[in-house]
């Protein structure tokens, strides 16, 4: 027996054979696309219950979370939260005090500066604030016997390494003797 396909003869012209093949592939692509669309629609329909279930579960969980948050924000918990916040602020303040200048240290350092002819009568000290770059300030009040003694004392205070500015108003030089003055010192004031 011989192979029958090799014995078959196609009597169609080449153009008709190409048209027949084109039509065959067109039908094949159409059927494949139709099956793909049907598969996508079926899968989409089958996913709808899962989507609805997930959405209702998410809504239920959100409602539970809202209920828990509402019940946990009682008056006692608010008071405790306020106390905790206050304690945290105090801890932060006390932590800054360890590195900040102290009034006693600043007054001791100012008193260590030689002051012949100067009588000191008052000190005020302002610690630096919590803002970055903030400096401490201190005012030194007293009476100078002469203008030259006051000038030398103000210059000596301005030369201290922990003082960035020693401000003495020009009006302090109005009198010749027994001159009342107030010098404002700014800087770290931490000897």
pLDDT of 73: 63
For residue 39, what are its two tokens? Answer: 């598969």
Q: Taking a C-beta distance cutoff of 8 angstroms, is the pair 166, 158 a contact? A: yes
pLDDT of 5: 58
pTM to 2 decimal places = 0.50
In this predicted structure, the answer to whether residue 75 has a pLDDT above a threshold of 70 is: no
CA distance 16 to 122: 118
């Amino acid at each position: 027996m011989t192979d029958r396909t090799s014995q078959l003869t196609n009597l169609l012209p080449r153009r008709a054979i190409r048209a027949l093949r084109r039509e065959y592939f067109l039908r094949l692509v159409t059927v494949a696309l139709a099956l793909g669309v049907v598969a996508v629609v079926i899968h989409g329909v089958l996913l709808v219950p899962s989507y609805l279930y997930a959405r209702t579960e998410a809504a239920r969980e959100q409602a539970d979370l809202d209920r828990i948050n509402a019940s946990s924000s009682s008056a006692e918990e608010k008071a405790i939260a306020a106390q905790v916040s206050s304690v945290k602020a105090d801890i932060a303040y006390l932590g800054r005090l360890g590195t900040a200048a102290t009034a006693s240290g600043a007054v001791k350092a100012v008193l260590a500066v030689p002051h012949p002819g100067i009588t000191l009568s008052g000190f005020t000290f302002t610690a630096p604030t919590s803002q970055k770059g903030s400096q401490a300030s201190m005012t030194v009040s007293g009476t100078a016997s002469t203008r030259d003694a006051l000038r030398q004392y103000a210059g000596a205070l301005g030369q201290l390494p922990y003082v960035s500015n020693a401000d003495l108003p020009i009006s302090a030089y109005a009198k010749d003797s027994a001159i009342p003055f107030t010098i404002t010192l700014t800087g770290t004031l931490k000897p």
